[in-house]
Amino acid sequence: MQRKETQPRLIRAMIDIFSLPDLRQKLLFTLGILVVFRFMAHVPLPGVDLDALQRLFEQNQILGMLDLFSGGAMRRFSVAALGVYPYITASIIMQLLVPVIPSLQSMAREGEAGQRKINRITNLLTVPLAALSGYGQLALLHSQNVVGYLEPLTIAVVVTSLTAGTVFLVWLGELITERGIGNGISIIIFAGIVASLPEMIGRGFLAKEDPLGLITFIILSLVTLVFIVVFIEAHRRIPVQYARSTIRGGRMYRQSGSTYIPLRVNTAGMIPLIFAIALMTFPGTIASYFASPAGQAPNLASKIMQIFNPQATLPLGLLYRGLYFALVIGFAFFYTMIIFEQMNLPKTLQQQGGFIPGVRPGKATADYLNRVIRHLTFGGALFLAIVAIMPFIARDITGVTVLTIQSTALLIAVGVALDTMKQLEAQLTMRRYEGFLK
């Protein structure tokens, strides 16, 4: 029986997914793993005053932003409070070290076997990073009187539990990658962000903000969302032609073909935003340990906290936003150049017998590609920087302080959703093609 063409494409795709047993099993397996993740986010660790913790998150917007990425696990101080971010930090460190250390370069050239070795090193590096992050989070809560005095053995148990929670989440992510749909680590981050949004929106309406401001805020959020989708999908096609010679029956034949290299405008993705946020958060977090208590004259640490406070009002907030804007652009250029250096496109084209029309192979091709990449990176970096400061612009325009457009969260959520949809569509296309052949 043939389907009606008037049926919406999305509904037809969902029907096809659940009608195919293997795809249905993959999707249900992914949903089951996400249920386990959400269960972990509600298992609290001992020794924490939850009421004081709630008050701390209401007063500290930086912690609220980090809590959004953990899906509310940090607000509850659960075993999943660190999320998978120690693993992401380890992955970023490994990506920066591969071009520098010769032994890692040789591993990267070994193909899939070398990638497995690099992944094993990344997993091992995640453990000490998670332990340091867990101890730092515990020390921060202790300095804010959320956690009282703990015995050394209790501290070791809490830090071990936080580290084990991160390792367990990474394992769940790898299971999704192997047996589910999409990239497992990204799916877990996406689930944490989406799970936190309803609670954040509910706090905004309970705060009885100005209705006109809320409507304007929602409109700006939708504009930001469309802006992110357009730039994530934007790319420039570099035409490439191939000319090969083959020998058949003792005679030489020349074959030619054409294709293109898709160079994305936003090659760096969310990495520059994460780097910039980490760098902007670090001074204020360290200064909070030495700041004067409330009601006393502010000291130097208190001034540093004011400068690096994302919720600071103008004109002091202008310095924070300017530094944030500049750091995002700088990290976007830095990370993009590292990625293209590793790809080595000119050498790959030359080895495969390809060339760009009108450009000589070798150094001329490298210069041409570097020039195009610099121009594209400038546009992508400017896009990321505008997305980064969009929450502050929305707050100044609408006056809504309870809700915050987390640009990084939106970028992650949109990127993961688009990537997962493409993978599902590829799986459906492959099975339809196989069914047609049969």
The predicted-structure confidence for 288-343, as pLDDT tens digits, reads as follows 667 666 556 677 777 777 777 766 666 767 788 888 888 888 888 888 887 777 67
> Token pair 């703990």 is at which residue?
150
pLDDT the model gives residue 305: 74
Rounded distance between C-alpha atoms, residue 409 and residue 31, angstroms: 20
pLDDT the model gives residue 109: 77
Model confidence pLDDT, tens digit, residues 252-303: 445 556 777 888 888 877 778 777 776 777 777 677 667 666 556 677 777 7
Q: Which value, to the nearest 10 degrees, does the dihedral of the CA atoms of residues 392, 397, 401, 404 take?
A: -50
Contact 392, 332 (CB under 8 A): no
Give the chain's residues under pLDDT 50: 1-6, 252-253, 436-438
Provide, for the chain, the percentages of residues in helix, strand and coil under a 3-state DSSP scheme, each rounded to the nearest 5: 70, 10, 20
- In 109-234, alpha helices (H): 112-143, 152-179, 184-206, 211-233
**Could you give all domains of the chain from N- to C-terminal order, each with its CATH number?**
1-207+407-438 (1.10.3370.10), 209-401 (1.10.3370.10)
pLDDT the model gives residue 73: 76
Work out whether the CA dihedral 184, 185, 190, 195 comes out positive or negative. positive
Strands 251-264 and 235-248: antiparallel
pLDDT the model gives residue 1: 40
Burial class (CB in 10 A: 0-12, 13-18, 19+), 193: buried
- Side-by-side strand order, sheet with 354-355: 251-264, 235-248, 354-355
pLDDT the model gives residue 167: 93
pLDDT the model gives residue 287: 74
pLDDT the model gives residue 127: 93
For residue 29, the surrounding DSSP H or E stretch is helix 21-40
Rounded distance between C-alpha atoms, residue 81 and residue 74, angstroms: 4
CA distances from residue 134 to 138, 151, 165, 277 in whole angstroms, order as listed:
6, 16, 10, 19
